[in-house]
Structure 1
Amino acid sequence: MPPGRLPSLPGSSITDETVYRGRRRLLGTLAALPALAVAGCRGAEPPPPVDAPRAGAARTGSATGFMTDEPQTRYEDATSYNNFYEFGSGKADPSRAAKTLVTSPWSVQVSGACAKPGTVPLETLLKGLVAEERVYRMRCVEGWSMVIPWLGVPLGEVLKRFQPTSDAKFVAFTSLADPRQMPGVRAPILDWPYREGLRIDEAMHPLTLLVTGMYGKPLPQQNGAPLRLVVPWKYGFKGIKSIVAIEFTSKAPRTAWNDMQPREYGFFANVNPAVDHPRWSQASERRIAGGGNRLFADRIRTQPFNGYAEQVAGLYEGMDLARWY
């Protein structure tokens, strides 16, 4: 399969049992999501201003899937054991090297199939939206996991401000790639800048979060400040960090890890314990919830869609989940 292109799905594809089990509940969730405004492109202008949120204000999510009572990963571990290859390939590299990242001022360029494209300051992008706390499981494709309290706004609420057109089938995201601030960009680890993408219905799903903070604090530089994506039912590499561009596209966008090794890093990247990575099993995970000198808690079984099948499995009805890794 050429990077960035998805073949059409045959109607005879067999749907896994986990897909249709929560179909009714999922449809009810999607029905509550406001519809997209559809319009023809009419020039580059930012979205209209709306009321700004109060400093520090946060709304706690209460809908199904927004919270979990599982033990949370310690802040110290979540901010010192993570991947951010722009600052090096080691787990501790970002916490040491990311202090050079300048996060203010910050702006995001929005383009593609929408009525209101433009380069928008971060404050305008989020203006009037009150941050919500969502406690999500996070599963890395490498086989480890965390439970993190994020602060952010539903991605769909932001995207609607730019009025995607009917041609917007996918949403592409691009990270900052500045070798002066990001030492990892000086090495050919990936084809920079880092790129990721979602199908439009995935991007508009209520669980998909545009994150600005964690643990009740502003997002640290090493965790993707000032703006990152969190899609809790997908492997963690889909959670692009330090976003500087968003584009609405009619075709599946090219993504960094899929370009580098498509056999190992699929476009959809939904957590699926029944489909192994080519080099290791995905049936279980090492939960980072240790204390003292112990980083990892006991190994636990990985759940389909990372435990969010009830909310999202219906998005993939008709797809062969054993193939669409």
Structure 2
Amino acid sequence: MGWKNVLKWSEVTPQALFLNRRQIIAGAGALVATPALARNEWSVEETPNSFEEITGYNNFYEFGYGKEDPAAYAGALTTDPWSVEIGGMVDKPGSYDLADVLKGQTIEERIYRFRCVEAWSMVVPWHGFELSGLLNRVGVQPGAKFVAFETLLRPEEMPGQQGGSFPWPYVEGLRLDEAMHPLTILATGLYDQPMPKQNGAPLRLVVPWKYGFKSIKSIVKITLTDKMPPTTWNILQSNEYGFYANVNPQVDHPRWSQATERPIGGGLFGGRKDTLMFNGYGDHVASLYAGQDLAVDY
């Protein structure tokens, strides 16, 4: 099947850049599996932000606090070779190289809304696979209730880690039912190229109904556990950043409203739009929180 029949993002991307990305992915080897064939049932029917917006405006504090810092400084990050340590309450613990992590997984295109806790938003065409596929492969043991994640610790390549303001490495976690939900993916790329380094190469979590800080980048460790794991932002400011971090327009951040958001790419006069409960994925995920008070479990 030819590339032109597989991906159709040339319609929203400058043609020269689109063709160049095709050449890049063609030589990417094991870093990216087969590209998605089409939008699948989980994708939103919204136009994605441009490649430049997605890669040029984001948070990755390991490279600095400015929105442009990741793009400016992530080039020094070594992503090949890469391995992920999987352990805890699993049947097949061990260190898995990236090719082994991807082995047997179906890479799909998932066009997801992305909502930052800072009240800006994007639409991103991720490529990735369901986290449940990897967890099922390594075997989740009875009694496991949570999944913990850890980002790479490499201060010589990640200048933001050289400071003492964060308890590096960055850590995050999900409840097991959240991790096993089909919306939760490990992303390996966006548009038609491998994951850019500033966006969390080569492997990042994407949980579209939660604020963006839950979608941990550059993962090197996954641990199954029976205890709620610590998470970086909850450690730093637990009154502002809870473990669940579900997008909720009815629960404000202590320092700003979450009722509306600013879509990136709207221009100077683009305005704001109403934020949707669970970022618009409530029909799929609200049942996960039946009986919970989401103003308490924020």
| TM superposition score normalised by structure 1 | 0.80
How much has 1:54 moved relative to structure 2? 9.0
* 1:108–1:122 CA contact under 8 A, matched in 2: yes
The equivalent residue for 1:265 is 241
How much has 1:55 moved relative to structure 2? 5.1
For 1:161-180, what aligned pairs fall within 5 Å after superposition?
161-180=137-156
The equivalent residue for 2:281 is 308
CA pair 202-295 structure 1, distance change in 2 beyond 3 A? farther
Q: Does 1:253 align with 2:232?
A: no
Q: Does 1:146 align with 2:122?
A: yes
In 1, Cα distance between the equivalents of 2:125 and 2:51?
A: 9
The equivalent residue for 2:57 is 81
For 1:263-302, what aligned pairs fall within 5 Å after superposition?
263-290=239-266, 294=267, 297-302=270-275
* 1:86–1:185 CA contact under 8 A, matched in 2: yes
The equivalent residue for 1:112 is 88
The equivalent residue for 2:43 is 67
Matched residue type, 2:106: V
User: Structure 1 stretches (4+) deviating beyond 2 angstroms?
Assistant: 52-63, 294-298
For 1:1-325, what aligned pairs fall within 5 Å after superposition?
56-63=34-41, 66-290=42-266, 294=267, 297-325=270-298
In 1, Cα distance between the equivalents of 2:31 and 2:67?
A: 34
Show CA shifts across 1:243-273 (max 9, x none).
0000000000000010000011100000000
Show CA shifts across 1:268-302 (max 9, x none).
00000000000000000000133xxx377320000
- SS of residue in 2 equivalent to 1:141: coil
* 1:72–1:148 CA contact under 8 A, matched in 2: yes
How much has 1:60 moved relative to structure 2? 3.2
Per chain length, whose mean CA-contact separation is higher, i.e. which structure has more relative contact order (CA < 8 Å, sep 6+)?
1
| TM superposition score normalised by structure 2 | 0.87
CA pair 173-145 structure 1, distance change in 2 beyond 3 A? same
CA pair 295-244 structure 1, distance change in 2 beyond 3 A? farther
How much has 1:71 moved relative to structure 2? 2.6
How much has 1:153 moved relative to structure 2? 0.3
Matched residue type, 1:238: K
CA pair 279-172 structure 1, distance change in 2 beyond 3 A? same
* 1:287–1:296 CA contact under 8 A, matched in 2: no
Show CA shifts across 1:196-241 (max 9, x none).
0000000000000100000121100000000000000000000000
In 1, Cα distance between the equivalents of 2:225 and 2:123?
A: 32
Matched residue type, 2:201: A
In 2, Cα distance between the equivalents of 1:99 and 1:54?
A: 18
* 1:71–1:289 CA contact under 8 A, matched in 2: no
Matched residue type, 2:69: D
* 2:86–2:221 CA contact under 8 A, matched in 1: yes
* 2:32–2:194 CA contact under 8 A, matched in 1: no
In 2, Cα distance between the equivalents of 1:309 and 1:215?
A: 26
In 1, Cα distance between the equivalents of 2:33 and 2:223?
A: 29
How much has 1:314 moved relative to structure 2? 0.1
The equivalent residue for 2:22 is none
* 2:40–2:109 CA contact under 8 A, matched in 1: no
RMSD (Å), alpha carbons: 1.5
The equivalent residue for 1:35 is none
Matched residue type, 1:312: V
- SS of residue in 2 equivalent to 1:206: coil
How much has 1:58 moved relative to structure 2? 2.2
Q: Provide the identity percentage.
A: 57
How much has 1:129 moved relative to structure 2? 1.5
* 2:31–2:202 CA contact under 8 A, matched in 1: no
